[in-house]
Each structure stands twice: as structure tokens, then as C-alpha cells.
Structure 1
Amino acid sequence: MIGLLLLGVLLLAVGGCACVVWAERGGPRWARRVATVTLAVGELVRRSEKRRRRSVTRRTSGRD
């Protein structure tokens, strides 16, 4: 079951990346929308990972 979920997430990511490339080359409007959503989600993931690393660093830097 978890394997199917991971496969679905992988297919969504690959499809989103394909839409980003297609939109860069002047694809249809729906591909540009999917590309925008894909890039926005990627940015959210990057920011949350940055915040998570900072909070872990703050928690561990006080311990000696």
C-alpha cells in the first residue's frame, strides 16, 4: 500500500517536471498552470526544509 502511495507521488513529481519543461517551451495553458503549481510546491518544500534545519541547529548548538 505504501509502495503505491510512493509511486503515485513519484508520478506526480515527474509529471510536474515535464509540465515545467513543456511550459518553458510554450505549452498549453493547463501545462503552464501545472508548472506554476509544481514550482510553488517545490519552493514551499525548500523553505520548510531550511526552517527545519535551522531549528535543529538551534536545539543542538546549545548542548556541549
Structure 2
Amino acid sequence: MDESWWQFEAWLAQHRPEGAESLNPPASDERIVKLERNLGVKLPADFVAGLLYGRYTYSAEYGGLVDVA
């Protein structure tokens, strides 16, 4: 996943710099626990891995998922 993610970020920075600038830092364990508690569900492990690694955007302009940063 590391290589794929860095390739994606490089592509985004080159082709959609405004999208790259909207990326949040990875989520903390504490924020993920809070998110699960607020949603009342246990998030799938692969989704949690993405939140810990990935840098999802929250901006409605870019169709953000959840504010976990």
C-alpha cells in the first residue's frame, strides 16, 4: 500500500494540487475510537488501516468522507 499511496499523492500533487492541499494528516487511534463510538459501530479493519495511513479530505467540495483528523 505504501508505494501505491505515494504514487497517488504524487499524481494528485501534479494534476490536482488543490486536492492534494486538502488532504488531512492520518487519523489518530483516539479519533478512530471516537468515530466508532459516535457511529455506534466497529469499523472494518481495512477501513481503519486506511484512516491511519490515508489522508482523507473532509472538504464537501471534494466529497470528503468523515472528519477524523
- Bucket of the pairwise TM-score, normalised by the shorter protein: under 0.3
Q: TM-score, normalised by structure 2?
A: 0.26
Which one has the largest radius of gyration?
1
Q: TM-score, normalised by structure 1?
A: 0.27
Give 1 or 2: higher helix fraction: 1
Question: 1 or 2 for the larger relative contact order (CA 8 Å, sep ≥6)?
Answer: 2
